[in-house]
Amino acid sequence: MMKIMYTIMMSIMVSMMLMIMCTLISKKSNMDREKLTPFECGFDPISSARTPFSIQFFLIAVLFLIFDIEIAIMLPMITTMKSSNLTSWTITVMVFITILILGLYYEWKNNMLEW
């Protein structure tokens, strides 16, 4: 128990020291009009840098990331099948896939997948 407390105290002290050192060392910069403008090779910007984007594109991108992470989580499950209890492994995989399928069904019913 003392090792855990010692480790926690040391990590808090190190992080606090780093934050204090960064605050002392950091250089304050004056934010003037020229520094706040977007940089385009010295020329005036052609269009606004704050153009709106399609929310549908954002939702599709988030869905892609979710299913990409799903694959990254599922691949190691195959290798752990040999070294773990088969019933607990099966239950874990089924619960994981069920949650993903329910999420996909929810998105489909709310027309989030319509472009």
Confidence band for 37, pLDDT divided at 50, 70 and 90: low
Confidence class for position 9, pLDDT limits 50, 70, 90: very high
Domain ranges of the chain: 52-115
Q: How large a percentage of the chain has pLDDT more than 90?
A: 17
- CB-based contacts of 63, cutoff 8 Å, min separation 6: 107, 112, 113
Comparing 93 with 50, the larger pLDDT belongs to 93
pLDDT band for position 108 (cuts 50, 70, 90): confident
Say whether pLDDT at 48 is over 80.
no
Where are the alpha helices (H) located in the chain, listed in sequence order?
A: 2-25, 33-36, 55-80, 86-109
HSE, side-chain direction, 13 A CA sphere, residue 40: 9
Instruction: Supply 42's token pair.
Output: 């010295």
Query: Is the distance from CB of 38 to CB of 45 less than 8 angstroms?
Result: yes
Q: Specify the pLDDT at position 98.
A: 93
- This prediction's pTM: 0.46
